[in-house]
Structure 1
Amino acid sequence: MSAKPPYVVQPTVPATSPDRSATLIFLHGYGDDAEGIPLGLAQQFQFYNKAQYLKWVLPNAPRNQEAMTQAWYIPKALPNAMKPRVPGEADEADAADDEEGILKSVAVLDDLVEQEIKSGTPPERILVGGFSQGCAISLVWGLTGRLRNKVGGVMCLSGYLPLRDRIEALRKENPVEDAVTAKKWFYVHGTTDMLIPTKLFVQGNEELMKWVDRDDIDGHLYPGLGHSTGAAELRDMLAFFNRVIPE
């Protein structure tokens, strides 16, 4: 089944000039849609008159028949400290990632970035990001996507990096010209996230630093934050906007 068109939240205050326009393409998580957490984030920023020049493009994942819900790819079970391992039983966390589904979603992001560039938004003022499963897609896209070196930054909330063992090969399969300036990364997580353990966030950061300069990663671990968003996270998101795509 094809996905619904992206939900687009237009700026509340026009950019001072065309070259100051900016767009955030932000993907929702597993079982959610564009009108869930992504729209909620956009509305919070606009309600408090923050980043009013920013256009939000919020894509919808297609309904996955196997998962019976909206999904960017078929997730595998993740290691969870609350769930003890049973001796002799296979660990689902060791199963292969859904590479086909992940790469299809990476291609969706490339198409959306391309559309924004064609519409006149300066590439360096485009951000790509997501929450949970949307974060996972954004991380893979930021390292392997066709247009990964065009954008200004990648924003990754409460997610992990899948296809870790495939990143190097995928980068070689999709070579791109070096960027004029290195894009910036915002990768954050909550310490009490019961769906995606903190150790996967730490592991994702370690993997990311194989390809990205540590100084280009704005990372935060929020005490007491679960698999959700919070005030401190929004504050840091705004600081990232102001630094990477200033008004």
Structure 2
Amino acid sequence: MSEEPPYVVSPTADSSSTARPATFIFLHGYGDDAEGLPLGLAQQFQFNNKMQYLKWVLPNAPHNHEAMARAWYVPKALPNAVKPRVPGHEGEEDAPDDEVGIMQSVDMLDQLVEQEIKNGTPSERIVVGGFSQGCAVSLVWGLTGRLKHQVAGVLCLSGYMPLQTRIQQLRNERGIKDDDKDPKRWFYVHGTMDMLVPTRLFVQGKDELAKWVDKENIEEHLYQGMGHSTNSAELRDMLAFFEKVIPE
């Protein structure tokens, strides 16, 4: 985890509010930081007086010397995408995923969830999620994380599922039984005009997720015309998901 503490956006609810505390731990994308898209989303919600009881925990990825950017792991080139220009990694579409980096980030998420529980937020009032590379880490954490079964939900924006051929083995190594009760809900969404993460990778990730999660627990949306970004329809659906899994 980065040596920098997470950027925290406190709830705006006043002291007379009867709403129970809740926390959203949200990972930024490759090359971004906590004060980029994550902070922008938090500010949009608060400006519009939505989810006023929600605490936003926005960690910063460490600066990855190999990727020469903030990154939760070293990205590889994705087929049919505008690829991140990582020196020495151009064109490596068949290269293995950076399992070490991804699983270090998975462990970091467990630490953040654990800290929020220690701070007094009930685990069933915590949502974990991310955008792009942060989405990818969140997907893997939601299937292999130590505390994955305790949270309310996982929210995944504009990303893909890495380590698809390794998920079963990782679950075995971490003592996760396939019949373990896992009550959390999933929100996994994408844009049809995403030039960085092709739609077919979103579909592959959704199909992979359905191997481990009951389909009725997966809310999916594919937004027409949306690129590698967010839009008003996505934010509306994101709000509805929050209100469902961590209601006031």
TM range (shorter): over 0.9
AA of the residue aligned to 1:184 = R
Task: Let me know the Cα RMSD of the aligned residues.
Answer: 1.8
What's the counterpart of residue 161 of structure 1? Answer: 161
2: CA distance, partners of 1:14 / 1:160:
38
What's the counterpart of residue 137 of structure 1? Answer: 137
1: CA distance, partners of 2:163 / 2:206:
14
AA of the residue aligned to 2:243 = N
Tell whether 2:223 aligns with 1:222: yes
AA of the residue aligned to 1:188 = V
Q: Identity of counterpart residues, as a percentage?
A: 71
Asked if the contact 1:153/1:183 (under 8 Å) is kept, the reply is: yes
Secondary structure at the counterpart of residue 192 of structure 1: coil
TM-score scaled by length of structure 1:
0.92
CA-CA distance at 1:244 after TM superposition = 0.4
CA-CA distance at 1:3 after TM superposition = 3.7
AA of the residue aligned to 2:30 = Y
Q: CA separation of 1:37/1:100 partners in 2, compared to 1, >3 Å: closer, same or farther?
A: same
CA-CA distance at 1:148 after TM superposition = 0.6
Asked if the contact 1:3/1:61 (under 8 Å) is kept, the reply is: no
How is 1:1-247 mapped onto 2 (pairs within 5 angstroms)? Answer: 2-14=2-14, 16=17, 20-80=20-80, 92-176=92-176, 178-179=180-181, 182-247=183-248
2: CA distance, partners of 1:172 / 1:148:
15
Asked if the contact 2:135/2:158 (under 8 Å) is kept, the reply is: yes
The runs of 5 or more residues in structure 1 that have no matched partner are: 84-89
The runs of 5 or more residues in structure 2 that have no matched partner are: 84-89
2: CA distance, partners of 1:209 / 1:107:
23
2: CA distance, partners of 1:13 / 1:239:
19
1: CA distance, partners of 2:123 / 2:4:
25
AA of the residue aligned to 1:74 = V
2: CA distance, partners of 1:82 / 1:109:
28
CA-CA distance at 1:14 after TM superposition = 4.8
1: CA distance, partners of 2:3 / 2:28:
13
- C-alpha distance after superposition, 1:40-77 (max 9, x if no partner): 00000000000010000000000000111100000000
